[in-house]
Chains A and B, each alone.
Chain A
């Protein structure tokens, strides 16, 4: 699979990483090289093989419905770049 500049620009937008136009060409080449190498997986016939998400063989543990957390606003906001009046803030969003 060879990625073009437009595709790289699109995935960079999806990933919210600003990539200067001047870097797109180089990046497209690099990513294409990696994907080309990855595509050797196509050699393997995986028909009927179950996909594996994780290796742990047990039931999903469940917690009791008890309030054990919260009321730690100072901790929650302690590292925030621009907190205000108990809120996180971001540049204004127009909906």
Chain B
């Protein structure tokens, strides 16, 4: 058996390094398909979102969708990539039931976007740069349903012709964790840009993983391509399995065969796809129904002007302006909606600002926890940023303590009522009257004279005990800072 330890697999015969490259197919957000006027919506009745062009009827011709081009350029800019002002659409020729024309219109030698980079935010707060090889536009295929009939495969062409961006990375990743971070970051950028909704369950984002192993420092080994792994968790599982399979094979004196493999999520294994073993020869050539796609710098600049602040820039700003840790900033910017919620919370209303660190802790801790439990997203959070802000204001002005605030928050999630109302209704306003606190301290100390003696003899730990007793007596409402001050004085 072999052990995986980060990027290194300790085999029986020594260490192995995993080398990973990802090919992601991201469905472009557009109303109509790449080369036809049929709709792209998910989940329609079979073959209702199909034009005669999509069905490759004789004599039908493609005309490119302007917005799909813009989306590809925008994504290229988001990946800090080379935008190619001249690109070419090629035909990739192969026969399959859900490929009506017998070719897919794609881009082969001259893609619309060239080399770029993406910065991974790793769980320990480290970052790592991964190269993007290229991004090109292509058509999606239709869908084959193999389980509807004992002897027939059914074909639905609704997806056929929907625009995809194929985004290819360099083989720069060295662990399943990095691959997962890559996918998360790529999805985050795509969603910020609004160029892909990133939904892996519906197949808007699909991932093929190229896996190979090598001895550290040696040239790349033979790779296997694992097709269509449809969740980030499965990507990790598939990589772990496939890397171990290759190491074991090599250590037994075998060789890795370059092939396409399928991840079986039920069994957690990869297996050879024999149906794809057919000698493929795609016979790419420029599509004579189209002309080269050309645009000028002004076109690129017009698109650049519409770009939102992207996660990396936002993260840097959160660190600089709000003094957040890299980890907290990374978590908050991963989704644009989270970042927007957080910023609204910090910036408050009418020029009022709130403590950014406290706000971050509340969003990442309490709010995320509540959303998780409720299975909701931040867009339909039961507590709005203004409402959560109201709660933080009550902490800030000493109306309630942080601990009480957590109970109030739970109540807000439950009832949807504003924080102030809950505090008033339940009488949770903290005791800030030093006279009242003094008298409660006196009472506690007099009841526990023996402990006071022990404390004074040097048992410092008992301070916490006295705090707890006073808190208990006030129903948790004593202002903790004041309580500490008074208690320390009285025990002197």
In the assembled complex, the Cα of A60 lies from the Cα of B281 at a distance in Å of 28
Confirm or deny: B52 has a beta carbon within 8 angstroms of a beta carbon on chain A.
yes
Q: Mark A66-81, 1 if CB is under 8 A from B, else 0.
A: 1111111101110000
Q: In the complex, which residues of chain B have a beta carbon less than 8 angstroms from the beta carbon of A14?
A: 279, 281, 283
Confirm or deny: A93 has a beta carbon within 8 angstroms of a beta carbon on chain B.
yes
In the assembled complex, the Cα of A92 lies from the Cα of B149 at a distance in Å of 8
Report whether A89 and B283 are in contact in the complex, using a CB–CB cutoff of 8 Å.
no
Which residue of the partner chain, among A58, A60, A84, A95, contacts B146 with CB atoms under 8 Å? A95
Confirm or deny: B47 has a beta carbon within 8 angstroms of a beta carbon on chain A.
yes
Report whether B66 and A64 are in contact in the complex, using a CB–CB cutoff of 8 Å.
yes
Using CB atoms, name the residue of chain B closest to A86.
Answer: B46
User: Which chain B residues (21-67) contact chain A, with CB distance < 8 Å?
Assistant: 30-32, 36-39, 45-53, 55, 63-67
Q: In the complex, which residues of chain A have a beta carbon less than 8 angstroms from the beta carbon of B65?
A: 62-65
Confirm or deny: B407 has a beta carbon within 8 angstroms of a beta carbon on chain A.
no
Interface band, chain B? 35 or more
In the assembled complex, the Cα of A84 lies from the Cα of B145 at a distance in Å of 12
Report whether A87 and B46 are in contact in the complex, using a CB–CB cutoff of 8 Å.
yes
Confirm or deny: A38 has a beta carbon within 8 angstroms of a beta carbon on chain B.
no
In the assembled complex, the Cα of A56 lies from the Cα of B51 at a distance in Å of 26
Report whether A92 and B153 are in contact in the complex, using a CB–CB cutoff of 8 Å.
yes
Q: Mark B176-201, 1 if CB is under 8 A from A, else 0.
A: 00000000000000000000000000
Report whether A53 and B152 are in contact in the complex, using a CB–CB cutoff of 8 Å.
no
Report whether A87 and B69 are in contact in the complex, using a CB–CB cutoff of 8 Å.
no
Report whether B64 and A84 are in contact in the complex, using a CB–CB cutoff of 8 Å.
no
Using CB atoms, name the residue of chain A closest to B35.
Answer: A63
Confirm or deny: B156 has a beta carbon within 8 angstroms of a beta carbon on chain A.
yes
Q: In the complex, which residues of chain A have a beta carbon less than 8 angstroms from the beta carbon of B154?
A: 84-85, 87-89
Report whether B52 and A65 are in contact in the complex, using a CB–CB cutoff of 8 Å.
no
Report whether B152 and A91 are in contact in the complex, using a CB–CB cutoff of 8 Å.
yes
Given contacts A84-B152, A88-B47, contact A67 B97 (CB under 8 A): no
Report whether A54 and B288 are in contact in the complex, using a CB–CB cutoff of 8 Å.
yes
Interface band, chain A? 35 or more
Which residue of the partner chain, among A53, A67, A95, contacts B288 with CB atoms under 8 Å? A53
Report whether A92 and B146 are in contact in the complex, using a CB–CB cutoff of 8 Å.
yes
Report whether B292 and A92 are in contact in the complex, using a CB–CB cutoff of 8 Å.
no
Report whether A76 and B155 are in contact in the complex, using a CB–CB cutoff of 8 Å.
no
- Distance to closest chain B CB from A67 (angstroms): 5
For B45, B46, B154, which residue has the most chain A Cβ atoms within 10 angstroms?
Answer: B154
- Distance to closest chain A CB from B165 (angstroms): 15
Confirm or deny: B469 has a beta carbon within 8 angstroms of a beta carbon on chain A.
no
Report whether B294 and A59 are in contact in the complex, using a CB–CB cutoff of 8 Å.
yes
In the assembled complex, the Cα of A53 lies from the Cα of B294 at a distance in Å of 15
Confirm or deny: B68 has a beta carbon within 8 angstroms of a beta carbon on chain A.
yes
Q: In the complex, which residues of chain A have a beta carbon less than 8 angstroms from the beta carbon of B148?
A: 85, 87
Report whether A54 and B291 are in contact in the complex, using a CB–CB cutoff of 8 Å.
yes
Report whether B52 and A94 are in contact in the complex, using a CB–CB cutoff of 8 Å.
no
* Inter-chain pairs besides A87-B145, A89-B152, 16 sampled, C-beta below 8 Å: A14-B279, A54-B288, A61-B64, A63-B37, A63-B65, A65-B65, A65-B66, A67-B37, A70-B38, A71-B48, A71-B49, A72-B52, A75-B52, A90-B155, A91-B153, A95-B275
Instruction: Write the residues of chain B forming the contact surface with A, with a CB cutoff of 8 angstroms.
Output: 30-32, 36-39, 45-53, 55, 63-69, 88, 95, 97, 144-146, 148-157, 262, 273, 275, 279, 281, 283, 286, 288, 290-294
